[in-house]
Amino acid sequence: MKTSAPTIEDVALHARVSISTVSNVLNGRETRMRPDTLERVQQAITALGFHPNQSARNLKTGHLAMIGLLVPSIANPFFGSLAREIEAVANERGYGVMLCNTQREADRELAYAQALMAQGVRGMVIGSALQAQEHLAPLIERGLAVVSFDRTAQEAPWNMDYVSVDNQRCGELAAEHLLALGHRHIVYVTAPLRSVSRGARLDGVRKACSAAGAQLHVHIGDIPNGQIEMEMAELGRSAAIELQALHSDATGYIALNDLMALGLVSGLRQCHKRVPQDISVMGIDDLFLDSYMSPALSSVRQPMPELARAAFERVLARMSNPTEQAHSLVFTPELVQRESTARLPPLS
């Protein structure tokens, strides 16, 4: 019984075409091919689970195959972590990665995608911060394989794959952790709800607090100048100062993300509040710097290696079969307790 990986010869035999025809499909040279022939090859690739040996192809051509990675900000450690993991898994498969910083601008995102496609890049992962991605639809229709990272089906074009953590569960885990420690007045600090993922995290916090009968105050801050990473931290700092005047009896704070949580800790210190002795603080994302904060930040971890691998594998699958049905992959987050959260002391 054959157990080795399928070869290009296997695909040709399964599709009842020549090896050169399969090679043309794999290399994007199918413009003059009959639609039924193209469909048979793509179906054979999917049925056999075939992935081309890119390392061998690189040796033959002398060129390193590339995929694109578009991120909204290289200043955000979250996307730095994504880039590192995507590059690692791509290198394993004989691919390089071209990194583009879109600065959260639709025109820039589209321009980078067009430029990469013009250079022969056939697939990319897009970690977009934009509310909609319809501007990419014409490129997808021309055969560009796009996987949307940290987005949802509601935000992505119908034929775009997406890979994301379960953001509602992120919010639930953060709130459930504080509730388990005895906190019954919780504050959730977030940025404007301009994406489904932000709204989902808030929904998760609300769900957990409602189930426990706990009091929840939601503080939605502003990011007026578009300097997201810096202003996320500043939003947290200023929110902590403002909230101490309005909700001084709150004992547990949850931030939209770890950058905002860093600002919360700073603002609480300015108000002479101790973390976690007086107030517990939770972040979300689990950035590498969380362990180096003082106190070390409790957070909700996104499984970045698994997310990155899934995104890359979907790019390969989409490049092999552009007409394949879109996939939605949602991963489960994990609670990471460190030093910034503590059990609420009993009333004296």
Considering the domain boundaries, does residue 32 fall inside one? yes
Are residues 248 and 282 part of one domain? yes
- How would you class 59 by CB atoms within 10 Å of its CB: exposed for 0-12, middle for 13-18, buried for 19 or more? exposed
Predicted confidence (pLDDT) at residue 218 exceeds the cutoff of 70: yes
Collect all residues with Cβ–Cβ distance below 8 Å to 91 and sequence separation of at least 6: none
In a domain, 92, yes or no: yes
Instruction: Indicate whether 176 and 272 sit together in one domain.
Output: yes
Query: Can you give the pTM of this predicted structure?
Result: 0.79
92 and 132 co-located in one domain: yes
DSSP state of 119: T
If one counts the domains in the chain, the total is 3
Share of the chain above pLDDT 70, in %: 86
Nearest to 331 by CA among 315, 314, 308, 312: 308
For 312-338, what is the mean pLDDT? 90
Same domain, yes or no, for 128 and 98?
yes
Quote the domain boundaries for residue 214.
167-302
Pairing of strands 123-126, 185-190: unpaired
The two beta strands, 328-331 and 215-220, are unpaired
Residues 6+ apart with CB under 8 A from 313: none
Q: What is the pLDDT of residue 272?
A: 96
Residue 290 amino acid letter: D
Q: Is residue 3 part of a domain?
A: no
What would the two tokens of residue 28 be?
A: 């994007």
229 domain residue, yes or no: yes
- Same domain, yes or no: 95 and 119: yes
**Do 178 and 290 fall into the same domain?**
yes
- Identify whether 346 is part of a domain: no
Confirm if 114 and 140 have CB atoms less than 8 A apart: no
Q: What is the pLDDT of residues 32-79, one digit of tens each?
A: 678 888 888 888 888 887 766 654 554 455 456 889 999 988 888 999
Residues 37 and 27 in one domain: yes
CA distances from 228 to 152, 185, 218, 231, 257 (A): 21, 28, 20, 5, 12
